[in-house]
Amino acid sequence: MTWDLLNIIGTIAFAISGALVAMEEDYDILGVFILGLVTAFGGGVLRNVLIGLPVDTIWEQGLLLKSALASMGIVFFMPETFIQYSKRSLHFFDAIGLSAFAIQGAIAATSMNHPISAVIVAAILTGIGGGMIRDVLAGRKPVVLREEIYAVWALLGGLIVGLNIVNSTVEYMILFVCLVAFRMLSLKLKWRLPHRAL
């Protein structure tokens, strides 16, 4: 149940995130749907390649695909005022997708008895993969490559899952909420990782 719930939450959040970025870049409706789908499923494809799951399992996720298409359609045809409000919520949708997919990626790697290093990398790639592909296709510098704290929260989620600190659905949901809260807090307080410009 945890896996399915996180899958749906992450897919919808990242699909909306991708659609909003596409509209900000003035893409047509096809571009909106393509960017949204890439954002929603790109991280999962990278994770599957990493931990040895079949990549084509993406085509078996009919419910997730329909959920992504429906959410992108709703966003695309919303009135302008609602779209402007949604654009201001872009970071929130991104945080939801990051947290849900990071935990889900860690669960997938853990279920295959991979070492904790692989669990952490699976969490990071699942959490940030779709967003990175989205930003590159939209001609933006990926958020994860800037100095702001982003991938750290995916790493933290993977570490907690990999160490078996959380086990029940309730604990996974608490972890999910905490990761979203810390991501938004790091944005509000402008937390930064050390960086050096040449």
Q: What mean pLDDT is predicted for residues 154-160?
A: 94
Tokens of 151: 């991938």
pLDDT at 86: 67
Residue with tokens 């949708």: 93
Per residue in 95-153, pLDDT (tens digit) is: 888 898 899 899 989 988 999 999 999 999 999 888 889 889 888 888 777 766 888 99
For the chain, what are the domain ranges? 2-188
- In sequence order, which residues have a C-beta less than 8 Å from that of residue 156 and are 6 or more positions away? 179, 182
Q: What angle do CA 66, 70, 76 make, to 5 degrees?
A: 145
**Whole-angstrom distance, CA of residue 179 vs CA of residue 151:** 11
Measured distance between the N- and C-terminal CA atoms of the chain, rounded to whole angstroms: 48
In whole angstroms, give the CA distance from residue 53 to residue 76.
33
- Tens digit of each residue's pLDDT (9 = 90 or more) over 39-95: 999 888 888 888 887 777 777 778 889 999 999 999 898 887 777 776 667 788 888
Residue 24 has pLDDT above 90, yes or no: no
Give the model's pLDDT for residue 147.
Answer: 60
